[in-house]
């Protein structure tokens, strides 16, 4: 381990102090790319989408004739939209917290169990692992399942 040895009789140099403006500049240098990306890829599309929603735009990203909040009025009058909104609210308000509470309760029970803990952890984890395996097999079979039937192979060989 290296150490600094001070010669006798020679005073140690005082440690360099950072100037008061160096820390804020370093902060903004490191944070500005993230803020730029956040603005360009999040806030700008949200604002543009809101502007488009206030116009009569059809299958385009350009602004059409300005109609104000009429699109929102039309959507709120639609009974199918209201039914789907009720479904989303019920799911968010009841199903998500209930699922979280049951999962947390099972995790606490398994963690507190001394006997059979590895077995129960495996039993609870197997459905998660199987879903990823099945999804990967489906993708492999649909993309690369031989020349005649795989989507990727159709484009590669024909």
56 three-state secondary structure: strand
Q: How far apart are CA 63 and CA 5, in angstroms?
A: 71
The domain segmentation of the chain, as residue ranges, is 20-77
Q: How far apart are CA 105 and CA 95, in angstroms?
A: 15
Please name the residue ranges forming H helices in 39-157.
44-53, 70-77, 79-90, 96-112, 117-144, 146-149, 151-157
> pLDDT tens, 66-92?
999 999 999 999 999 999 999 999 999
> Which are the contacts of 113, defined by CB distance < 8 A and separation ≥ 6?
120
pTM above 0.85, yes or no: no
> pLDDT tens, 94-116?
998 998 898 888 888 888 877 88
> pLDDT tens, 1-42?
555 666 666 777 777 776 777 888 999 999 999 999 999 999
Q: How confident is the model at residue 152 (pLDDT cuts 50, 70, 90)?
A: low
């Amino acid at each position: 381990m290296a150490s600094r040895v001070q010669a006798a009789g020679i005073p140690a140099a005082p440690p360099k102090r950072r100037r008061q403006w160096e820390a804020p500049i370093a902060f903004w240098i490191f944070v500005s790319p993230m803020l730029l990306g956040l603005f360009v890829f999040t806030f700008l599309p949200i604002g543009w989408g809101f502007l488009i929603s206030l116009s009569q735009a059809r299958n385009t990203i350009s602004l059409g004739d300005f109609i104000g909040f009429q699109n929102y009025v039309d959507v709120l009058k639609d009974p199918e939209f209201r039914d789907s909104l009720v479904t989303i609210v019920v799911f968010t308000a009841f199903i998500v917290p209930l699922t979280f509470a049951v999962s947390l309760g099972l995790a606490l029970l398994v963690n507190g169990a001394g006997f059979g803990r590895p077995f129960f952890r495996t039993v609870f984890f197997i459905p998660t692992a199987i879903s990823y395996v099945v999804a990967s097999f489906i993708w492999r079979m649909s993309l690369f399942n031989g020349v005649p039937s795989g989507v990727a192979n159709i484009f590669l060989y024909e």
